[in-house]
Structure 1
């Protein structure tokens, strides 16, 4: 459940222990480990792997992915090279999934929301108040059977998940009025981030609007929309504070990105290379989760300092927000079927 620590709601520690070589600081990516347990690096077969992502390079997920690529190359003695194409240089987010599935690129990072069009069960991260509002419990779910089942569904489609990259919790910014209860959304136009959140926005009485992330600032400035939903990290990067007055922290969704690799390509990699990539990916996943918590805290505070009026939904009120969002739960089960229902039940029992 959501807590009211400071201005941020629930923000708990990442799941699992990172290797000693990792840095737990918030100043940058984990420190590179150039060793590989004493194994002879010449034993790695040469490979060049392309990896594309669309997030800004200064985002904590981007920093983690860049360091992941660096570590793999260093630990393989330069034999396994991962060529990184950042910030949409190679593929847009809309092109990414198909490119991974067809082998147009070997690896890529994309949002779970976009993967939900391929694997409907992946939409669970967008279901309002389905993911525990706790980094520790969210990590426990992703590292356990919930994550395993989602990975299995992805593999059926031809993509192997190497890691879940936590973006952070989703909040609401708007320029009309404080959003303290679902009824406060009535009549507003809110930029949505996907189909399931749009159903929630409609259930709250507002109109969802679809547009690219880069268009939101101008739309808010011109009053063509009243507000938007996103993580506070993006709100700082996109300068929402200049065009929005109110921030509501409800942690309604856990925004997730996925580093995936083409399954056929993966299956043809030597076992030694697979082991190296898997080990490094696990370290990176844990580091990114720690950073998501720290960045959520820091960026929400920054938005307050920049003049936004911040409202943290009290824990006692969350039941009303969740109940009003029930149509979004029904929509998820409708699209994800029995597996979706099973995942929702399982994730609600994570302790």
Structure 2
């Protein structure tokens, strides 16, 4: 009887010890990351970027590492403050546009300029090439980039204005997302107005701006077809760059298994998914605009494209030289 009791006591103590060890082993503890952004759940971002990351990480970690998503500015509404929210740990992961805080990303912004993306290469590839070469990595302090990618080509989205040649823009107020697009619009003789995407609808509706330069996907994502009625496709206007970043201290504090779950479902793989989603939405949007019957969709001829390019392409060299980013341009353009 004495031996049996002792045996049970020892076994019970051993089992309790195992439980205690598990309770304090970081790799065994479930963790949840907060991912914040400022657009509605129906935005292209969800299916192209958030769901692949969330589903992939949770599957790879066996459910041990989960991601809770806070859309529509639930953790802070300002689109311009998204990067800071990741650095400060308000959210563990945030999405945003480099152009909204262009001064932080002078070399990354080279990717947005006309003529930089080579034919046959994806936007995310040139961004990661420059990042891996150490040429733009310093512009992402305090974070680990999970995805970097470019939008589809920018187009003109106008209200009651048809744009067929550069002269059509003289004196107009055109919304842009960042410094690169602003320089392009100035070269065309218009006045750039920088504002976050959620403000475009009202600005276009009320006449605060005459038009917008951005990708066609924004027409659907922000319902711009309700206030715009003329679209010009083909002018070399550059693109828009995006990031999905994670707080570096949070990433560093994860177990090796959880870090691997993040690594296996981010980087170029996630960036490719994001960019494909933007391009697919842009293509379907343009087809819908053509089919609607109540829009003017202008597809520029080669000669008309060249007329715009004569003014916009030189902007690229000027900005690259001013930023001392010749090495970045060489990497991104494959030189």
How far off its partner does 1:148 sit? 4.5
Unaligned runs of 5+ in 2: 1-25
Partner of 1:46: 30
Task: State the SS of the aligned residue for 1:178.
Answer: coil
Partner of 1:95: 81
Decide whether the 8 Å contact of 2:61 with 2:257 is kept in 1: no
Q: Distance in 2 between matches of 1:115 and 1:220?
A: 22
How far off its partner does 1:56 sit? 2.5
Instruction: Check if 1:271 corresponds to 2:259.
Output: no
Instruction: Check if 1:301 corresponds to 2:296.
Output: no
How far off its partner does 1:241 sit? 2.7
Instruction: Check if 1:187 corresponds to 2:171.
Output: yes
Q: Distance in 1 between matches of 2:221 and 2:277?
A: 16
Could you report, residue by residue, the CA deviation over 1:293-345 in whole angstroms, capped at 9, with x for unpaired residues? 221110111122232211223345444423312346423542xx33x222123
Decide whether the 8 Å contact of 2:86 with 2:245 is kept in 1: yes
Matches within 5 A, 1:1-351: 45-63=29-47, 64-91=49-76, 92-132=78-118, 136-145=121-130, 148-149=133-134, 152-155=137-140, 157-250=141-234, 252-282=237-267, 283-306=269-292, 307-325=294-312, 326-327=314-315, 329-334=317-322, 337-338=323-324, 340-349=325-334
Decide whether the 8 Å contact of 2:155 with 2:213 is kept in 1: yes
> Closer, same or farther in 2 for the Cα pair 1:76/1:284, shift >3 Å?
same
> Closer, same or farther in 2 for the Cα pair 1:303/1:149, shift >3 Å?
farther
Q: Distance in 2 between matches of 1:222 and 1:119?
A: 32
Q: Distance in 2 between matches of 1:318 and 1:149?
A: 34
Q: Distance in 2 between matches of 1:194 and 1:162?
A: 22
Partner of 2:14: none
TM-score using structure 2 length: 0.80
Q: Distance in 2 between matches of 1:126 and 1:286?
A: 17
How far off its partner does 1:143 sit? 4.3
Larger Rg: 2
Could you report, residue by residue, the CA deviation over 1:45-91 in whole angstroms, capped at 9, with x for unpaired residues? 43221111123212222222134113312331221122211121112
> Closer, same or farther in 2 for the Cα pair 1:161/1:150, shift >3 Å?
farther
Q: CA RMSD in A?
A: 2.6
Could you report, residue by residue, the CA deviation over 1:234-267 in whole angstroms, capped at 9, with x for unpaired residues? 1123333333222111362222221111222222
Larger helix share, 1 or 2: 2
Task: State the SS of the aligned residue for 2:266.
Answer: helix
Unaligned runs of 5+ in 1: 1-41
Decide whether the 8 Å contact of 2:147 with 2:243 is kept in 1: yes
> Closer, same or farther in 2 for the Cα pair 1:179/1:146, shift >3 Å?
farther
